[in-house]
Chain A
Amino acid sequence: MKIRLLDIAHARSGDKGDTANVGVIALKPEWYPILAKYLTTERVEAHFKPVITGHVDRYELPNLRALNFLLHGALDGGGTLSLKTDAQGKVFSTAMLRLVLDVPDNEVPKA
């Protein structure tokens, strides 16, 4: 089934130079395995491709039931050089939550 990230995760994002970081946190512990398995580097790279110029790094934090993504080349140069409204990447978090995952029905935790 299709699962929108917004329905199973929350997120916060910030900046480091021209890189935005997006931390994605499972809303319930049982959703973390779904994130860990299906929210891959490739999936996130494809999602953000229209708005970033660089690659994506991905880190797992099972202890926090979270993943951390670094989106390089996301901030129009970053810091004070950037002309973007969101020069500090504050709302890349919610852009991430638009992503829709395709998860086999038998792997979806029961509500």
Chain B
Amino acid sequence: MGTNQSGDRVVRVASGQGFWGDWLEAPRRQVEGGQVDYLMLDYLAEVTMSILQKQKERDPNMGYARDFIGAIESVLPAVVNKGVRVIANAGGVNPPACAAAVRALAKKHGAGDALRIGVVTGDDLLPRIDELLASGHPLKNMETGEALSTIRDRVLSANAYIGSVPIVEALAKGANIVITGRSTDTALTMAPLRFEFGWKGDDWDRLAAGIIAGHIIECGAQCSGGNCLIDWQTIPDLANVGYPIVEASADGTFYIVKHPGTGGRITVPSVTEQLVYEMGDPHSYITPDVIADFTSIHLEQAGENRVRVFGIKGRPATDMLKVSIAYRAGYKAVGTLVYSWPDALPKAQLADRVLRERLVNLGLKFDHILTEFVGASATHGPLAGDPGDPPEVQLRVGVRGEDKAMVERFTRELIPMVLNGPPSVTGFAAGRPKVEEIVAYWPALVDKRVVQTKVEVLS
């Protein structure tokens, strides 16, 4: 542990992945670029669990974020020699298999003795759905109010979002790698602060501070210059962007910083952009541990690439946990063609009409067809106004339906348009569109008391 300029003890938690697919270089750069105590890796998005569940069905040793194994390999020297501890929700639907893969890797590098792997389980509710439904837990869709029975036979995965408690337990048992399943993204950052500073379970303001620290760094570089709109033209050296680090004190005050010599930018506006990202009601950011109040956050530029965050208020958590349920929801395919100047947009519009007429003539029925004109109106719709006569417009047509054969047939109708539709068309090199099975997301709530987490430390 280090100290800050005033001599207070500080804990430094570094963000190394904001999602599964994030920059492979980031974890190593975070542990090598300067002093950090913890490396936090967030791998799980809403639909990730269902992808992992499908992988586990095919192979019982799969079902976790495999990028994590490479990440551990890249930071192993820091874990072994510098005592950096790693916390990740890389376990997906199979934390024990993830732990076994990490162990095998450590053994290969002769570091088997140096690792104590904490494994958190108990979030997986898939085997318990019928028991829960029967005992009065309806798992209704939080957004629509629909009963789970409407999709029960199509459910692929069901996981409760769990909080900081089991991670703190794993750290207390000496784990230097903690692997969880569906932990909340924010708990991965809050848990080590709670552990190091001994914050109590009803110390709402400090727990809320830890959660907000987690929210700021959970999307990796998105608070340190990545995807930053304000003054984007002048953000230095994005090629070498520094991922964020929380430098926290026992009172819950923390700084957002990055390693010296890295690119990007940490300012009050760059942190504010991340704070409002995916925000709901700012008065009530609900987590399993605490409800954090975003209207209490104070930010202050405390130096170059250094923002102080303080004044945060929290209040008691609810009795419920959010549950992420994934289910099969039919098929979709999206295809594109590019039309060129002159009159690129009218050509693309005619192509769309011709295509749709052919779909009708073939008797194909879909739940939904969406046409967009990329370069004219795809992302802003009519708000974009008149696009003029742009050099090219991409026609982008998507269909969705329960009948896979009909979606397949759609994919055969787009490409012939190159020879039998409107002129000046190109951009079909990728061939016909791919049919994808849709795995959709069903958010629900469940009584906290029915979810029992378990922590095991393997050494």
Flag if B383 contacts A80 (CB, 8 Å): no
Interface 1/0s, chain B 8-47, versus A by CB < 8 A? Answer: 0000000000000000000000000000000000000011
> Any chain A CB within 8 A of the CB of B112?
no
A61 touches B383 (CB 8 A): no
CB–CB A16/B278 < 8 A: yes
| A34-42, A86-94, A102-110: which lies at the interface | A86-94
Q: List, in ascending order, chain B residues with CB within 8 A of A27's CB.
A: 230, 269
Is B302 on the interface with A (CB-CB < 8 A)?
no
Beta-carbon contact of A85 and B372 below 8 Å: yes
A2-61 residues with Cβ-Cβ distance < 8 A to B are 10-18, 21, 23, 25, 27, 47-48, 50-51, 57, 59-61
A95, closest chain B residue (CB) = B380
Q: Is residue B362 contacting chain A, with contact meaning CB distance below 8 A?
A: no
Q: How far is the CB of B349 from chain A (nearest CB, A)?
A: 17
Q: Which residue of B lies closest to A99 (CB)?
A: B383
Q: Contact check: which of A50, A51, A68, A83 meets B279 at CB < 8 Å?
A: A68
A60 to B294 alpha-carbon distance, docked (Å): 10
* Range for the number of chain B residues in contact with chain A: 35 or more
Bound complex: CA A26 to CA B230 (Å) = 11
Q: Is the CB of A81 within 8 A of B272?
A: no
Decide: A12 and B438 in contact? CB cutoff 8 A.
no
**Residues on the A chain within 8 Å of B369, using CB:** 83
Least distance between B26 CB and chain A CB atoms (Å): 20
Residues in chain B near residue A21, CB distance under 8 A: 276-280
**Residues in A whose Cβ lies below 8 Å from that of B441:** 17, 79-80
Closest chain B CB from A90 CB (angstroms): 8
Q: Can you list, as one digit per residue, whether each of A69-85 has a CB less than 8 Å from chain B (1) or not (0)?
A: 01000001101110111
Q: Does B446 contact A (CB under 8 A)?
A: no
Number of A residues, CB within 8 Å of B: 42
Is B386 on the interface with A (CB-CB < 8 A)?
A: no
B220 to chain A, nearest CB (A): 14
Verify A12–B277 contact, CB threshold 8 A: yes
A21 CA / B269 CA spacing, docked (Å): 18
Contact with A along B246-281 (1 / 0, CB 8 A): 000000000000000000000001001111111111
Chain B residues near A25 (CB, 8 Å)? 230, 269, 272-273, 276
In the complex with contacts A50-B381, A63-B297, A76-B370, A14-B278 CB distance below 8 A: yes
Residue B426 at the A interface, CB < 8 A?
A: no
- Closest chain-B Cβ to A74's Cβ sits at a distance in Å of 10
In the complex, A76 Cα to B440 Cα: how many Å? 13
A36, chain B: closest CB distance, angstroms: 13
Which B residues between 279 and 318 are near A, CB-CB below 8 angstroms? 279-283, 294-299
Point out the residue from B281, B296, B299, B382 that lies within 8 Å of A59, measured CB to CB. Answer: B281
* A79 and B440 within 8 A (CB): yes
B168 interface residue (CB < 8 Å to A): no
B194 lies within 8 A of chain A by Cβ = no
State which of B273, B296, B374, B400 has its C-beta within 8 Å of the C-beta of A23.
Answer: B273
Q: How far is the CB of A25 from chain B (nearest CB, A)?
A: 5
Whether A14 and B399, one on each chain, are in contact in the complex, defined by CB atoms closer than 8 angstroms, is no
Q: Is B379 an interface residue (CB 8 A)?
A: yes
- Contact partner, B230, options A10, A63, A76, A79, Cβ 8 Å: A10
Evaluate whether A68 and B379 lie within 8 angstroms (CB atoms) in the complex, with A17-B143, A63-B295 already known: no
Of residues B272, B276, B283, which shows the largest number of chain A Cβ atoms within 10 Å of its Cβ? B276
Instruction: Give the Cβ gap from B329 to chain A, nearest Cβ, in Å.
Output: 6
Q: How far is the CA of A65 from the CA of B269 in the complex (A)?
A: 10
Q: Which residue of B lies closest to A21 (CB)?
A: B279
B69 to chain A, nearest CB (A): 26
B350 at interface by CB-CB < 8 Å: no
Q: Does B84 contact A (CB under 8 A)?
A: no
Please, which residues of chain A bring their CB within 8 A of the CB of B374? Answer: 85
Answer whether A93 and B383 are a contact pair too, CB < 8 Å, given A70-B280, A84-B372: no
Q: How far is the CB of B274 from chain A (nearest CB, A)?
A: 7
A19 vs B226: C-alpha distance when bound (angstroms): 23
**A10 and B46: CB pair below 8 A?**
no
In the complex, chain B residues whose CB is within 8 Å of the CB of A98? 380, 383-384
Task: Mark B residues whose CB is within 8 Å of A.
Answer: 46-47, 143, 227, 229-230, 269, 272-283, 294-299, 329, 332, 334, 368-370, 372, 374, 378-384, 396, 398-400, 438-441, 443
